[in-house]
A and B are shown apart, each in its own frame.
Chain A
Amino acid sequence: MPNPGPEADSPCPPRQRFGGLFQNPLVAIGGTLLGLLLLVALAAPLLVSSGILQNPIQQFPDGLDPDGMPLRAGGRFLLGTDNLGRDVLSRVILGTRVSLTVGVAAMLTATLIGVAVGVLAGFRGGRTDLLLMRFTDMNMTLPAILLAVAFAGVMDGTPHHLHPASLPWHWLDLRLSRGMLSLCIIIGLVCWPGMVRVIRAEVLTVKEREFVMASRALGASDLHLVFRHILPNILPTTLVVAVMLTANTILLEAGLGYLGIGVPPPAPTWGSMVNDGQPYFITAPHMVIAPGVAIVVTVLAFNLLGQGLQEVLNPKSRK
């Protein structure tokens, strides 16, 4: 190293680190895939309204063969039809919107909780740390999908009383119905624990760096330390973890859709499409294959991007 200046303990300043991201092949592939998916998701309603794509929830009379079975791929319906005579291609494409929206929103929810808990535990230390980490461990012992199922069972639109039923305080009633919003909350609520450990470990190292010590010695408040020094310095790690987490939230959304407790029908979601196709698997495998491939491609894009970002932003893991 020719010039070990005052910034010697940070491999290179943040601005440089974010430049040239796309030189990493993983970032390039993942980013491109993701860009294409975003484009498709944004353009989908336009494609439908301009007539290029079929209506995803319309049941076409000519979408079923004379025996009432789904049509194979090819012809008017490029990827065939499903058991109700709906166009599989347009349902897969419209499904991108649900998947990305729920996936990203759930990731943001989980990241918010995960970073808050991780920073609090790492920065405060002591008893707070012990308590928060125990709570995190508790959440880690439950399989995310089962926990999400339990949450989803709660959200069936019936009012829940937060007070003894004998008291007439109906303004305290809580009514949660199943839909995109509650799905984002559910998935966010079960996904944050995996994040805490990474964030906490990062905070613990940043906390001991000289510039943080110096700032503290100069009388900076805790809030100042957290927002001016800790958070900006854990940003690269948070970004990597968040991108990889999105892969998981999308998988979880698909899993819940498959179990029939995702976004309610007739909305096109990939998980529910796989579920719909199962009884017809032998005669119409495209009903299961097409949405599954869509899930794999989307999740793969996020995983590749996360992997690549880690190589670029975390030089220690680059070998």
Chain B
Amino acid sequence: MLLRLVVRLIGAGVTLAGTALLTFILIHAVPGDVARVIAGSKASPEVLQAIHTRLHLDEPVWRRLGWHLSDLAHGDLGRSYVTEQSVAEAILIRLPATAALAGLAVTFWMLIAIPLGALTARHPGGWVDRSVLVLSTLSLSLPAFWLARMCQYWFSYKLGWFPVAGFRGFGHLLLPAATLALLFVGYYARLIHTHMAEVLNSHYVRAARAKGASEGMTLFRHGLRNAMIPVVTVLGMDVAGLLGGVMFVENVFALPGIGTLAVQSVFNLDVPVIMGTVMFSAVIVVGANLVVDLLYGWMDPRIRSA
């Protein structure tokens, strides 16, 4: 178990280092003129030069990479070109809103997807199964930015059930989280269906039925517990995709989260902030995968010994 942990930790470290290198090459090696972005199009050459000197923009790329990596190792993500705020601070301030939104969304869609997946696997081929299949395909096909606008228009503006935008408490998170859940619930309902169907065909489920266990007991105790293992893996990998959705949804509902920060930084060409959010999401994804790996041992005793 300890060896497994060490190996995983080293792997995660390698992945993160690679990601840092990749983002640097992507964004830093080839910037538009950042000084012009900061100072505006009418800035004098002296001002531009001053900014270049201050941000070390004239240094060779490899030297900037060295500084960048050592800063990252110290947890320093640099400063925003536009607001001068420390990027790590900017992200941390916005983390609670984003974390609450994402957590609520995952809870919503799992609460819907688990019963749907289990039921459709129990009665495959029926009309419930077919309609859930079509509906979940529809949910896969919705663009996040559009769905968020539509939900906002109908449920907040027309019906007045939810606050339209902004963030002043839990109520402001409900509709954005429901929007995100709508985007993901279809995929997870199908995923759970697939694994559940596999498990329900296994010998131990047949054995459980043969010994007279109740149907609910079989489905949830034997079926679901085993079917959820691969689902949790996918959930860990999906954090990156979730952040993509969060970005659009936060933007539409004007939530002060990391997604809004990312969109703003894109519009401002605020390189340190873009890179910071990318790095942050990489850390979250790698961390989530690590947690999932360790959860395995707890969820599935068969893996513990390996």
Q: Report the nearest A residue to B22, measured CB to CB.
A: A138
Instruction: Choose among B15, B157, B278 the residue that contacts A146 (Cβ–Cβ < 8 A).
Output: B278
Please determine whether B244 and A146 come into contact, CB atoms closer than 8 angstroms. yes
Tell yes or no: A292 within 8 A of B by CB.
Answer: yes
For A141, the chain B residues whose CB sits under 8 A away are 15, 19, 240, 281-282, 285-286
Among A142, A144, A158, residue most surrounded by chain B Cβ atoms (within 10 Å): A142
How many angstroms between the C-alpha atoms of A259 and B263 in the bound complex? Answer: 8
How many angstroms between the C-alpha atoms of A158 and B282 in the bound complex? Answer: 29
Tell yes or no: B124 within 8 A of A by CB.
Answer: yes
Tell yes or no: B269 within 8 A of A by CB.
Answer: yes
Tell yes or no: B43 within 8 A of A by CB.
Answer: no
Within 8 A of B (CB), among A259-308: 259-261, 271, 274, 278, 281-282, 285, 288-289, 292, 295-296, 299-300, 303-304, 307
Instruction: Choose among A143, A153, A154, A156 the residue that contacts B281 (Cβ–Cβ < 8 A).
Output: A143
Given A274-B149, A281-B149, does the pair A160, B30 have CB atoms closer than 8 Å? yes
How many angstroms between the C-alpha atoms of A78 and B127 in the bound complex? Answer: 37
For A296, the chain B residues whose CB sits under 8 A away are 138, 141-143, 146
Tell yes or no: A169 within 8 A of B by CB.
Answer: no
How many angstroms between the C-alpha atoms of A160 and B61 in the bound complex? Answer: 13
Within 8 A of A (CB), among B109-159: 124-125, 133-134, 137-138, 140-146, 149-150, 153, 157
CB-based A-B contact count at 8 angstroms: 136
Tell yes or no: A216 within 8 A of B by CB.
Answer: no
Within 8 A of A (CB), among B198-257: 237, 240-241, 243-244, 247-248
Among A139, A140, A258, A299, residue most surrounded by chain B Cβ atoms (within 10 Å): A140
Other A-B pairs, 8, CB within 8 Å; known A144-B244, A251-B143: A141-B19, A145-B244, A146-B277, A149-B262, A254-B146, A255-B144, A296-B142, A300-B138
Residues of B whose CB lies within 8 Å of any CB of A are: 11, 14-15, 18-19, 22-23, 26-27, 30, 32-33, 60, 124-125, 133-134, 137-138, 140-146, 149-150, 153, 157, 194, 197, 237, 240-241, 243-244, 247-248, 262-263, 266-267, 269, 274, 277-278, 281-282, 285-286
Could you list some 26 contacts between A and B, CB below 8 A? A134-B18, A141-B15, A141-B281, A143-B240, A143-B243, A143-B281, A145-B244, A146-B262, A146-B274, A147-B278, A150-B27, A154-B27, A255-B143, A255-B248, A274-B143, A282-B157, A288-B149, A288-B150, A292-B146, A292-B150, A295-B143, A296-B141, A299-B143, A300-B141, A304-B134, A317-B194
